[in-house]
Amino acid sequence: MREVAIIGVGMTRFGELWNQSLRDIFTEAALKAIDDAGVDHIDSMYIGSMSPGLYVGQEHIGSMLADYLGVTPVPASRVESACASGSVALRQAIFEVASGYSDIVLAGGVEKMNDGEDTTYILATAADQEYEAYFGVTFPGLYAMIARAHMHRYGTTGEQLAAVAVKNHANGYRNPNAQFRMKITKETVLNSTMVADPLHLFDCSPVTDGGAAAIVVPLEMADKLKGQPVKIIATAQASDTIALHSRSDLTTVSSIGKAAEKAYKMAGLTPDKIDLAEVHDCFTIAEICAYEELGFAEKGKGGAAAESGLTALDGKIPVNTSGGLKSKGHPVGATGIAQIAEIVAQLRGEAGERQVKNARIGLTQNMGGSGGSCTVHILEAM
């Protein structure tokens, strides 16, 4: 494989973007990434988006967004793996560049969720429609079952779940692009409305509009371009049963572990070498599972790790310095690329008030559904 780097990133503010359509949002992010990279053209583009068909009645967004971005006849395709769509788009850009077929490929992600008629239904199409959603289960319900099993087996507490939300809001407070820029306390979480026991409102990521983009180039081209490059040293992806009930163990999201194992092997690294990470905290319990599967905490000790400060901005391994999905927001198709944008900013030393000192190696973990798909990427400063 030809080695590849990210040479530019861009994202919109995340939130309720009532004045911007899906095409406006994507184009803003793409133009920022192109400008950041300092390239005068792109050879190809991929867009991660979970469900523009159900959210805004528009499929074929590859063509639409190439058109609106003004880059036709450049090849443009959409990639979908529910909430992991963005990072899967990145993988396609990596493969296209690594193969030598193209040199400058844009990987973007976008979702316009607030226009959706029934976002709970739409998100549930990432679960097994026939065997889960049809019987009324929703995503808060699925993750609540994971949380309840984790509590039962390992003694994980509601306070530990809340600690994840408190940390991520503290980080998001420092991120100008975050949807919910306010500090919260454990009490904020524990006193908020119960959505699906044991998950309160503040254990859940919000409904968000937003876009993000990254420019992938061959490593040997990176030095000649304006943007400060960050090297991609691993890309990995794994699948699992789409239905939660088909798994042998509710407390283990095995696709995270499988993807992480492959990524660490590809990078030639162990988890202790990771300086910081962006993980998929669609619900607080998901971040706790991620700690365990990524090797940041022992199995069953993810809750304690969250409470200990290990993953705080000044901890040993800061996680979700961007605010994560919880505070920054979760426009599902864009999330995987927004994670990349945060790691690139950190590895470049451009993360402002939330900068992690001496950040050299960063990891992203992006997940679809209740873990039916998962990607892990590892990036290295240059």
Q: Which of 9, 39, 50, 217 binds its own copies (CB under 8 A)?
A: 50
* Closest separation in Å from C-beta 18 to its own copies: 16
Contact mark string toward its own copies, 255..294, x via CB under 8 A: x--x------------------------------------
Residue 195, C-beta contacts closer than 8 angstroms, at least 6 positions apart: 140, 144, 201, 203, 204
- Judge contact between 115 and 24, C-beta under 8 A: no
| Tokens encoding 246 | 């088909």
Query: Would you count residue 191 as binding its own copies (CB under 8 A)?
Result: no
Q: Which of 373, 376, 378, 379 binds its own copies (CB under 8 A)?
A: 373
> Whole-number minimum distance, CB 1 to its own copies, in Å?
5
Residue 187 has phi, psi (to 5 degrees) of: -65, -35
The two beta strands, 230-239 and 194-196, are unpaired
Task: Provide the CA 226 distance to its chain's centre, in angstroms.
Answer: 26
Q: How many CB atoms lie within 10 A of CB 192?
A: 17
Binding segment (CB under 8 A) for its own copies, from list 55-63, 200-208, 213-221, 334-342: 55-63
Place of tokens 């190696």: 361
The one catalytic residue in 150, 169, 330, 377 is 330
Question: How many CA atoms within 13 Å lie on the side-chain side of 27?
Answer: 15
Amino acid at 161: L
What x-and-dash track marks residues 210-249 binding its own copies by CB under 8 A? Answer: -------------------------x-xxxxxxx--x---
Residues in the chain: 382
CA distance 239 to 171: 30
Is 56 among the residues that bind its own copies (CB under 8 A)? yes
Asked if the bond preceding 52 is cis, omega within 30° of 0, the reply is no
Per CB under 8 A, 119 contacts its own copies: no
Q: Does residue 289 carry a catalytic annotation?
A: no
Contact pattern from residue 136 through residue 175 relative to its own copies, giving x for each residue in contact according to CB under 8 A and a dash for the rest: ----------------------------------------
* Chain center to CA of 380: 18
Residue that has been written with the tokens 């959210």 in this structure: 55
Stretch that binds its own copies, among 74-82, 145-153, 184-192, 347-355 (CB under 8 A): 74-82
Say whether 330 is catalytic: yes
Residue 73 interacts with its own copies (CB under 8 A): yes or no: yes
- The span of 56-64, 192-200, 221-229, 286-294 binding its own copies (CB under 8 A) equals 56-64
207 binding its own copies? (CB under 8 A): no
Residue 96 as a binder of its own copies (CB under 8 A): the answer is yes
Angstrom distance (rounded) from CA 276 to CA 312: 10
- Say if residues 246 and 145 touch (Cβ distance below 8 Å): no
Contacts of 265 by beta carbon, 8 Å cutoff, 6+ apart: none
Q: How far is CA 212 from the centre of its chain?
A: 11
Chain centroid, CA 377 distance in Å: 11
CB of 96 to its own copies, least distance (A): 5
The residues binding its own copies (CB under 8 A) are: 1-2, 21, 44, 50-51, 53-54, 56-60, 62-64, 66-67, 71-82, 88, 91-92, 94-96, 98-101, 122, 125-130, 133, 235, 237-243, 246, 254-255, 258, 368-369, 372-373
> Which are the catalytic amino acids?
83, 330
